Each structure stands twice: as structure tokens, then as C-alpha cells.
């Protein structure tokens, strides 16, 4: 498996791929890879002759310096995990910040029709400017035909779709389903930071989402939200940051149910200082 640290070397390789008229897939990651990432790579390998996996902890998308500092950096084990796929069509791009950002390591400011102000955007100010900046830079460097994003970060996926629409990149954005542990916990690089006690209680998040989905069959969005809040109110280890039932396209909170609009429930929960997010399709 080839690992490039410099974009000029990666681009020289990709030039040859393009000359053969082969398709390039991109799976952008911040490393600390798990089976969820591998499933994105496996999907990408089915659609593309070459798949670039970028591994880069993007500083501009962290609104909390502590979170940036504590974010796991595990390049060696990431490469070992990718090797288990035994596929020589995987290329890793693991750059330093100076290679991804041209001049200053700062986020550009974007407007995504308000998608950026909802949920994660409200609680993590500037987060999506950072995500969009790095994704745009990666798209410009790699020029993939297809790019793969997990639905765990559903708001991010919708924002990347909007980024492509606004900037006119000729790239297909493919959303991939959330991978879960056997007890329902959504796979995440942050799960590794949980203590055993915390790990034991976090399946409560998905369990609550599943019950919320059932309740949404007969109750209003507001009633379901109130029920979720009451479930978390007395929890000793889990602190609910938000629970929102939103329209999948606009990401605006749903006030009245309407069969035409697809809805999804979104949740963010603190377990100690670890912040976990999850979501579930409702209709
Ligand atoms: O989802 C992530 O891991 C990151 O937000 C991404 C898309 C790799 C950008 O840094």
C-alpha cells in the first residue's frame, strides 16, 4: 500500500491513474480508523479502480482545543487496519497541515443555505467552515470522481453535498450507512476514549433513538423530544446536549409531521468529556 505525505507525489501517482481512464474514489478521514471507515473503503473499492484514503486531523474544524489535543492519532495502526483489506488499489494520503492548506491554516467562511447553523453548527461554532475548507482542499488536490462519507455525520454529509452544488465540483457524493457495535453503539473514533464504565452505558443512546422512532409513529415531534429529554434528565453518566427531529434536506426542526418530508432524529450526548453523536431515519 502506497502512503504519500506530499500532495505533489500523490498527484504524480494519480496522473497515471487518470491516463488509464480509471476512476478515483476518496474516503476522507481523520484517522483512528475502525470498521466503519473500512466499510466506506470497501464500498469505494467496488466503484473505483483506485481509492485514496486521506488521514488528517484537521485543526480548523475543532472549536474546542482540548478535543483537538485529545483526538487520537494512530497512523501506524490505521495503516495496519487498511492492510487487512489486502488491496493494492488503496492509496493513503497522510499529510501535514502545511501540505493541505496553502498559506494560512485557517477556515474559509461558507454559506450553506442555513444547513450550517442547525444542530452541530449551533453547538460547535465554525465547525462546518473547517470541515468544508479541508474537504474542498482535498477535492482540489485529489480530484476524485466519487467521495464517500458516513451517515453518522449526516449533517456533514448534507453540507458536503451542498458544497459540491455551490462550487460546481464534478464529484459524486456517496452517503454510507452507520456501522454499529453489537450493542448498537455507533462506531466512532471517539469511542476509544471511553472508560469501561462509560462504555457500558453508552448503548443507551441508540436504544433511546430506536424507541423515539417507534414513538414518532403515533406522537408529535415535540412529544417525542420531551420524552427523550426526560429519559436523559436523571442519567448519572450521560448528559444530553441536543435531541432534534429534523427534515433530512433542510435540517430544520420538524414542527408538523408530513408524509412527503423525510425526517431523521439527531442526538448529541456528553459522556464525561467525550462527545458522541448519532442519528436515525424516522420515515
Ligand atoms: O468526518 C470526518 O472524519 C471529518 O470531518 C472529515 C470529513 C475527514 C474532514 O476532516
Q: Going by CA atoms, what residue is nearest to atom 5 of ligand 1?
A: 131
Ligand 1 centre distance from Cα of residue 84 (Å): 22
Same topology, domains 2-176 and 189-281? Answer is no
> What are the residues whose beta carbons fall under 8 Å from the beta carbon of 43, sequence distance 6 or more?
148, 174, 176
* C-beta 29 within 6 A of ligand 1: yes
pLDDT for 234: 87
* C-beta 129 within 6 A of ligand 1: no
How buried is residue 78: exposed, middle or buried, by Cβ count under 10 Å (0-12/13-18/19+)?
buried
Q: Is the model more confident about 252 or about 103?
A: 252
Q: Going by CA atoms, what residue is nearest to atom 1 of ligand 1?
A: 29
Q: How confident is the model at residue 157 (pLDDT cuts 50, 70, 90)?
A: very high
pLDDT for 147: 99
How buried is residue 217: exposed, middle or buried, by Cβ count under 10 Å (0-12/13-18/19+)?
exposed
Rounded mean pLDDT, 144-158? 98
Ligand 1 centre distance from Cα of residue 216 (Å): 31
Q: Does the pLDDT of residue 33 top 90, yes or no?
A: yes
Q: How confident is the model at residue 103 (pLDDT cuts 50, 70, 90)?
A: confident
**Ligand 1 binding pocket mutation candidate from 135, 147, 173, 179 (most atoms within 8 A of CB):** 135
pLDDT for 23: 97
Ligand 1 centre distance from Cα of residue 135 (Å): 8
Give the ligand 1 atom nearest the CA of 150: 1
pLDDT for 195: 98
CA dist., res. 79 & res. 274, Å (int):
25
Q: Does the pLDDT of residue 152 top 90, yes or no?
A: yes
Ligand 1 centre distance from Cα of residue 58 (Å): 8
Buried b (16+ CB within 10 A) or exposed e, 132-166: bbbbbbbbebbbbbbbbbbbbbbbbbbbbbbbbee
Residues facing 244 on adjacent strands? 266
CA dist., res. 152 & res. 174, Å (int):
13
* C-beta 61 within 6 A of ligand 1: yes
Give the ligand 1 atom nearest the CA of 160: 7
CA dist., res. 30 & res. 54, Å (int):
8
pLDDT for 95: 98
Rounded mean pLDDT, 269-281? 97
Q: How confident is the model at residue 73 (pLDDT cuts 50, 70, 90)?
A: very high
List, for residues 166-221, the tens digit of each pLDDT value. 999 999 999 999 999 999 999 999 999 999 999 999 999 999 999 999 999 999 99
The CATH number of domain 189-281 is 3.30.2350.10: no
Average pLDDT, the chain: 97
pLDDT for 133: 98
Q: Quick check: 83 and 240 in contact, CB under 8 A?
A: no
Q: Does the pLDDT of residue 27 top 90, yes or no?
A: yes
Active site residues: 37
Q: Does the pLDDT of residue 126 top 90, yes or no?
A: yes
* C-beta 30 within 6 A of ligand 1: yes
List, for residues 241-253, the tens digit of each pLDDT value. 999 999 999 999 9
Distances (CA, A) of 5 to 233, 247, 280: 46, 40, 36
Q: Does the pLDDT of residue 21 top 90, yes or no?
A: yes
Give the ligand 1 atom nearest the CA of 58: 10
Give the ligand 1 atom nearest the CA of 54: 8
pLDDT for 257: 86
pLDDT for 259: 83
The whole-model pTM stands at 0.97
Q: Does the pLDDT of residue 240 top 90, yes or no?
A: yes
Name the architecture of domain 2-176. Answer: 3-Layer(aba) Sandwich (3.40)
Q: Does the pLDDT of residue 130 top 90, yes or no?
A: yes
CA dist., res. 55 & res. 80, Å (int):
13
- Where do the structural domains in the chain lie, given as residue ranges? 2-176, 189-281
Amino acid at each position: 500500500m502506497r502512503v504519500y505525505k506530499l500532495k505533489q507525489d500523490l498527484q504524480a501517482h494519480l496522473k497515471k491513474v487518470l491516463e488509464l481512464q480509471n476512476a478515483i474514489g476518496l474516503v476522507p478521514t481523520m484517522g483512528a480508523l475502525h470498521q466503519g471507515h473500512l466499510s466506506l473503503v470497501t464500498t469505494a473499492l467496488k466503484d473505483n479502480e483506485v481509492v485514496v484514503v486521506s488521514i488528517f486531523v484537521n485543526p480548523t474544524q475543532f472549536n474546542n482545543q482540548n478535543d483537538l489535543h485529545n483526538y487520537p492519532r494512530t497512523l501506524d495502526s490505521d495503516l495496519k487496519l487498511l492492510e487487512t483489506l489486502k488491496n493494492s488499489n488503496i492509496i493513503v494520503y497522510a499529510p501535514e497541515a502545511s501540505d493541505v492548506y496553502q498559506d494560512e491554516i485557517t477556515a474559509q467562511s461558507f454559506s450553506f443555505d442555513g444547513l450550517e447553523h442547525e444542530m452541530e453548527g449551533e453547538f460547535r461554532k465554525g465547525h462546518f467552515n473547517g470541515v468544508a475548507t479541508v474537504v474542498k482542499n482535498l477535492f482540489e488536490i485529489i480530484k476524485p470522481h466519487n467521495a464517500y462519507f458516513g451517515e453518522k455525520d449526516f449533517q456533514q454529509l448534507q453540507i458536503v453535498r451542498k458544497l459540491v452544488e455551490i462550487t460546481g465540483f464534478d464529484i459524486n457524493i456517496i452517503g454510507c450507512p452507520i456501522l454499529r457495535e453489537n450493542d448498537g453503539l455507533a462506531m466512532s473514533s471517539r469511542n476509544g476514549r471511553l472508560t469501561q464504565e462509560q462504555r457500558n452505558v453508552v448503548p443507551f443512546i441508540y436504544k433511546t433513538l430506536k424507541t423515539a422512532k417507534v414513538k414518532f409513529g403515533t406522537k408529535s415531534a415535540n412529544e417525542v423530544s420531551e420524552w427523550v429529554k426526560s429519559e436523559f434528565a436523571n442519567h448519572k453518566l450521560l448528559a444530553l446536549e441536543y435531541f432534534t427531529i429534523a427534515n433530512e434536506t433542510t435540517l430544520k426542526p420538524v414542527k408538523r409531521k408530513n408524509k412527503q418530508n423525510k425526517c431523521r432524529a439527531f442526538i448529541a450526548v456528553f459522556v464525561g468529556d467525550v462527545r458522541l453523536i448519532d442519528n436515525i431515519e424516522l420515515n
